[in-house]
Amino acid sequence: MKASEWIVDRAATPDGMTASTRIAAVHGRVVAIDHSAPSSSAVRLRGTLLPGFVDLQVNGAGGRSCDEATADALDTVARAVWAGGAVAFLPTLITAPWERLLQQVAAVATWIRGWNGQGAEPLGLHLEGPFLQASGAHDASCFLDPTPARVDQLLAAAGGTLRLVTLAHARSGAAAATARLCAAGVTVALGHCDKVDGFAACVDAGARAVTHLFNVMGPLHHRDVGTAGFALDDERVQCPLIVDGVHVHPAMVRNAFRVLGPARTILVSDAVAAAGMPDGDYQLSGITVKSHDGVVRDAQGRLAGSALTMALAARNFLRFVPMAGPWTLGCAAARNPAALVRADAYGALAVGKRTAFTLLGDDGSITAVH
């Protein structure tokens, strides 16, 4: 029997913050959270223990990209995600020619099933494209409608590993595709769409999130609220944010949080290969992107993912949103993303959950621990 024990200054449990907390585990699962005296072998953690961060949108990290779809590249990404403060993630593939994309999906799915246990755990695939309408940095020439045949091809290629699909609600067949994907156990997010057509129908069909609130959604106006306005207004919809201070202005992060609160805010990195790396040129789905001062752009100057780690996103969130504290951070970076994709082993410091945590140090550091 492999037993583990920790004693931490503070812990963010589902019921609130507790002090001088002991956590015991057996075979990688929590069996007790209490205030009992720790054994002499307990590991002392200084700071606030949070449920392990879960990043739902990782295109790459550590100098490698998920679309390389090789074990070496994906192993590197998983280690970099862990080094960046998250314990689990969704490797994310973006728009590419359909047959190539299906090959990438199948290859990443094989890696997920055979994950070697190193770095952050891949919970499944996030497919962001090609069922999109507004490009951002995506190749619009590869956009497609989500026909039943294509959805079935995608599900077959993923072999049960598909967790999240981003699609544009204005594309033909979007609501039917949403229902089809949800019936297969896949979470659907709406995004990369600068029209509001079909938004309500897709949410009624089961869509439960948007992909990177405010970005590639068209304008937000008091008479023409746009996709972002409808997403904020619909309490069924979770709203991930890229909190790097560039994708979304800090004032808008605060405004969004005032509407969403701890229940509907999610932090995502939208990281590309530049995450955790120095400034320079990196690859994203076959194009060169440049990271400068932590901001990633393509050759046309458009934002092309980010160089964020979840640790940096969390520090930014706490700085941008003064009314949020560690417990709220645990909701936005762990509880809500885990619940959205039904990753039941994660999302809370609770009995039965995985022993993969994120520690907020008293010095502001954020690290993944197990």
Question: What CATH code is carried by the domain that includes residue 63?
Answer: 3.20.20.140
Using the 8-state DSSP alphabet, how is residue 207 labeled?
Answer: -
Give CA–CA dist 221/69, Å, rounded.
40
Average the pLDDT over 222-238 and give the result. 96
Question: What CATH code is carried by the domain that includes residue 34?
Answer: 2.30.40.10
Radius of gyration of the chain (CA): 20
- pLDDT class for 157, splitting at 50, 70, 90? very high
Say what the pLDDT of residue 166 is. Answer: 98
Give CA–CA dist 283/267, Å, rounded.
23
Domain that holds residue 12: 3-49+363-369
Residues 141/96, Cβ–Cβ less than 8 Å: no
Helix axes 98-113, 148-158, angle to 10 degrees: 30
Q: Please tell me the number of Cα atoms within 13 Å of 251 on its side-chain side.
A: 0
Does any domain span residue 358? no
Q: Which residues contact 322 (CB under 8 A, 6 or more apart)?
A: none
Q: Is 143 helix (H, G, I), strand (E, B) or coil?
A: coil
Burial of 297 (0-12, 13-18, 19+ CB in 10 A): middle
pLDDT tens by residue, 242-297 = 999 999 999 999 999 999 999 999 999 999 999 999 999 999 988 899 999 989 99
Looking at the 3D structure of the chain, how many domains does it have? 2
Using the 8-state DSSP alphabet, how is residue 52 labeled?
Answer: P
Q: What percentage of the chain carries pLDDT values higher than 90?
A: 94
Give CA–CA dist 185/221, Å, rounded.
35
Q: Are residues 226 and 257 in the same domain?
A: yes
pLDDT tens by residue, 170-217 = 999 999 999 999 999 999 999 999 999 999 999 999 999 999 999 999
- pLDDT class for 2, splitting at 50, 70, 90? confident
Does any domain span residue 212? yes
Residues 86/52, Cβ–Cβ less than 8 Å: yes
Q: Has residue 1 got a pLDDT over 60?
A: no
Q: Are residues 230 and 211 in the same domain?
A: yes
- pLDDT class for 370, splitting at 50, 70, 90? confident
Does any domain span residue 229? yes
Average the pLDDT over 295-301 and give the result. 93
Q: Has residue 3 got a pLDDT over 80?
A: no
360: its two tokens: 């907020």
Say what the pLDDT of residue 204 is. Answer: 98
**C-alpha pair distances (Å), 358 with each of 46, 125, 159, 250, 348:** 12, 22, 30, 24, 11
Q: Are residues 14 and 153 in the same domain?
A: no
Q: Is the peptide bond before 14 cis (omega within 30 degrees of 0)?
A: no
Q: Are residues 39 and 115 in the same domain?
A: no
Q: Is 61 helix (H, G, I), strand (E, B) or coil?
A: strand
Tokens 């359909």, located at residue: 98
Q: Has residue 40 got a pLDDT over 90?
A: no
Give CA–CA dist 316/140, Å, rounded.
31
Q: Are residues 193 and 216 in the same domain?
A: yes
Query: Which active-site residues does the annotation give?
Result: 270
Nearest Cα to 77, choosing from 87, 63, 88?
A: 63
Say what the pLDDT of residue 132 is. Answer: 98
- Compute the mean pLDDT over every residue in the chain, rounded to the nearest whole number: 96
Using the 8-state DSSP alphabet, how is residue 38 labeled?
Answer: P
Does any domain span residue 173? yes
Backbone phi, psi, residue 247, to 5°: -60, -40
Counted residue by residue, the chain has a size of 370
Say what the pLDDT of residue 331 is. Answer: 98
Residues 13/350, Cβ–Cβ less than 8 Å: yes
303 forms beta bridges with 297
Average the pLDDT over 115-142 and give the result. 95
Say what the pLDDT of residue 286 is. Answer: 87
